[in-house]
Structure 1
């Protein structure tokens, strides 16, 4: 298991690096305006896929790992679910675009339709990938996920070299990588001799297991709303250029979250194996103390080199991203600390507390963004993120402390 975690961390780091380089190339090729629209669409894809998946990907991993003999029932459910989603979605895609529009301004119907296809493909990618993880095929999952990202970046670069890279081409590149990833996951599942598929739909069995994924599903939605809604609000209210500037600041700060996320992934099984909630809390806070100093050093460096870093990586067109980046740098600190306590709360069996906190903070974030975006622009949105991340950190750390003392979460 330790080896699998280390391999996953290495591959995840390589994948994130490749994806980041692809995003830099895309940003330089499209310019701030189209980069902003593209970022808003991808935020919509992430939120839409999570909402429309109904947490089935989490059920996949749990059920297959716990009941290997139920694979056919679960895979049949996946087929029925995806088929229904495609059939209904294709039929209503044009009316939705015509009369309701996307939460992104000034997009053509082809762009809206590609966005919908990417949402469906992303759901399929998650479903197949989580089935593979449920079968404990960690190495195949890591390799094929990395292959999907590499193919997406290669498609973007090839289109750019031939002068064909625009908004729709960028979406098609993402769609290409995701679809190939789906087929690779499916190939890995069925190449195993122990897996022989036979259609066996049993909704009642799956319904009995779906309670497990409910809390994970809701917590993921809350997290995505907190992390992704700001770019949609900026694009809708300030336009693509401002969204492009903010997306660059956000992307660079996301790099700072990679290291804390990897540490949390390693920490999870150690906290989970604790005998008492107090022991788990001590492990969490001890790890946090060792982690804070290097993180603070990195944040200080990022803060002072923000403008030079933006110009070096993205070019002078994105120089304005330095100001929101400096603000978001400290939001990263609060988000990183918060991640430790959400892991603790999950390990000690109190996930509902941070689900409620997540939705409450997301709602506050949404309201404050609407109040400040017109007056203070992207810097105001970054400041709202700073405040709401700090609030989430304080609530979750307070609840963690209470639970470590044997009390109920607030």
Structure 2
């Protein structure tokens, strides 16, 4: 019996379900290396602070670029741009097949096979991105049947999706392997985008097509940088294996099951308004949404740091549970502290930043502000559940929230327009957060099942 178990072990190691002792490196050593690389012993607060700083810088760059774009395009074209970006977000979520979160989880969970997991996720996403590009080119005329310029902007957006898919595996391998380098890659794209948009604005060349081209070019540059950094860490050159694809697809599809409704709750309101409301109304709504998202970068940092730490399972269960509680409380407090001054200053801030054409965004901001805090906290709750290997719990919460949003959009938008969409958005965010908190309360770090361990058990029976 023991000989049979020993004979089976090499096969399991090749499949990535047991640690590889190549070069004399055992799993314990690989775990220590991953612990050092993710900064687990370097202090949770310090990691959150640096990640939050990166998130804020990213948001500021995106916000300033958004202001320049809004001023150059005006409310109507800004509405078209908002619709394009809404579809862009949805296509990214669906086309990536949940492999961004799966890459982070398995690179942190099984560091000895990080290169092979990365290669597997990359191939999956490139195949999906190729299909997305072809489908997007064919469907673009249906999204803007009366405007060739907008059709071309949509096609540029779909091409950008392929570039993003090709680099996403490298970006999220860095999330697990080197958090500072992950932050560097994330901040590079919005800073570069802002620089390009600024140059276009100063040269009076900023229009819908040049904005789409700037987005595409900076996403390509981000993917190249992520590859170079991963190569420097020895994360490239792995083999894509079907045995690794199976658990990654299971995790990824569970993640996708939650990401699709999350994208619905984040973008469906704007998509519905793009069909049922005037472009100017959608432009005002998009501005209000962008402002209520200001708290997200600070709040999201807690989940960004906690996810790979929980996945790596380094530390006592009681300590991980305490970290989880503190993460939830701190994220809620930060969200409230950031949002309340924004609500108070809105009547002065919005006209000064965006111009008099966006006065309607003030009332929309007041309605969207509670949902902005709740949505940010829900994102943290989702990261905690993913770190526990429970993406299906996230999916359940997000689907219920999406149903709530759809029902309220149908009931409120025909009568209240953009204000009805704001109410629906806040209600959906509250629903998602409450359900995730219930799931987290029900499951502790000591008792939750792990996808990698479950896969190992299943294959060794």
- Residue 123 of structure 1 is matched in structure 2 by 165
Change (3 A) 1:202 1:352: closer
Change (3 A) 1:51 1:337: closer
- Residue 155 of structure 1 is matched in structure 2 by 196
- Residue 182 of structure 2 is matched in structure 1 by 141
**Alignment check: 8 A CA contact 2:404 2:427 kept:** no
Structure 1 position 239, deviation (Å): 3.5
- Residue 346 of structure 2 is matched in structure 1 by 306
- Given the alignment, which residue of 277, 293, 312 partners 1:238? 277
Cα distance in 1 for partners of 2:413, 2:405 equals 11
Cα distance in 1 for partners of 2:415, 2:425 equals 16
- Residue 103 of structure 2 is matched in structure 1 by 60
Structure 1 position 339, deviation (Å): 4.7
**Alignment check: 8 A CA contact 1:250 1:328 kept:** yes
Structure 1 position 42, deviation (Å): 1.1
Flag structure 1 segments of 5+ consecutive residues without an equivalent: none
5 Å-filtered alignment, 1:98-247, equals 98=141, 101-102=142-143, 106=147, 108-134=150-176, 136-192=177-233, 194=234, 197=237, 200-247=239-286
- Residue 256 of structure 1 is matched in structure 2 by 295
Change (3 A) 1:341 1:197: closer
Change (3 A) 1:133 1:150: same
For this pair of structures, how many residues does the alignment match? 399
- Residue 95 of structure 1 is matched in structure 2 by 138
Cα distance in 1 for partners of 2:127, 2:388 equals 38
1:393 and 2:433 matched = yes
- Residue 12 of structure 2 is matched in structure 1 by none
Structure 1 position 191, deviation (Å): 3.9
RMSD: 3.4
Cα distance in 2 for partners of 1:85, 1:291 equals 34
Structure 1 position 233, deviation (Å): 1.1
Change (3 A) 1:19 1:339: closer
Change (3 A) 1:396 1:274: farther
- Given the alignment, which residue of 362, 386, 389 partners 2:402? 362
Cα distance in 2 for partners of 1:267, 1:77 equals 22
1:82 and 2:103 matched = no
- Given the alignment, which residue of 18, 29, 33 partners 2:61? 18
Change (3 A) 1:129 1:343: closer
**Alignment check: 8 A CA contact 1:78 1:127 kept:** yes
**Alignment check: 8 A CA contact 2:72 2:206 kept:** yes
Change (3 A) 1:96 1:350: closer
Change (3 A) 1:94 1:394: closer
Higher mean C-alpha deviation, range 293-302 or range 42-51 = 293-302
Higher mean C-alpha deviation, range 35-44 or range 246-255 = 35-44
- Give the TM-score normalised by the residue count of structure 1: 0.84
Change (3 A) 1:104 1:371: farther
- Residue 48 of structure 1 is matched in structure 2 by 91
- Give the TM-score normalised by the residue count of structure 2: 0.75
5 Å-filtered alignment, 1:366-385, equals 366-385=406-425
Residue aligned with 1:210, SS: helix
Residue aligned with 2:294, SS: helix
Change (3 A) 1:103 1:223: farther
Cα distance in 1 for partners of 2:254, 2:262 equals 12
